[in-house]
Amino acid sequence: MNRVRNAWTHAVICDETTDWGCRHNRALESTDPHVRAIIQLARSLADYADAHASRFDNPIGHDGVLGPAWHDAVRGVLTFLNGESGNLDCGTVNRAIRAMAKAAEVELD
């Protein structure tokens, strides 16, 4: 069950008919340490939420302790999008992270 990771994966890829979309998609595999960190953080949070759902048969958003902690961690990654992010399209990454949160049943706004 990879509901949250799948939400991330489907939302983070851009349309390659545009130059910025191609640059963004290439940046997803970048060796830039800032870009790698942002992507790894998001993927790790998705994996953690999926592992929680698999183990407890409930989305992490329903957990009264870990749900708020996961929420805070996701908000932190969203804040990192205001810093160095290479060629990532931060709007696309923001949308993908919000898709993860929705799949995890965590409300961000």
What confidence score (pLDDT) does residue 12 get?
84
What confidence score (pLDDT) does residue 101 get?
97
pLDDT in tens, 31-90: 999 999 999 999 999 999 999 999 999 999 999 999 999 999 999 999 999 999 998 989
**Burial environment of residue 60 by CB neighbours within 10 A (0 to 12, 13 to 18, 19 or more):** buried
How confident is residue 28, by pLDDT bands cut at 50, 70 and 90? confident
Helix (H, G, I), strand (E, B) or coil at 36: helix
The DSSP letter of residue 57 is S
Mean per-residue pLDDT, 3-32:
84
Q: How far is CA 103 from the centre of its chain?
A: 11
Domain boundaries, the chain: 3-103
Cα–Cα distance measured from residue 100 to residue 28, given in angstroms and rounded to the nearest whole number: 17
Among candidate residues 2, 20, 14, the one with its CA nearest the CA of residue 96: 14
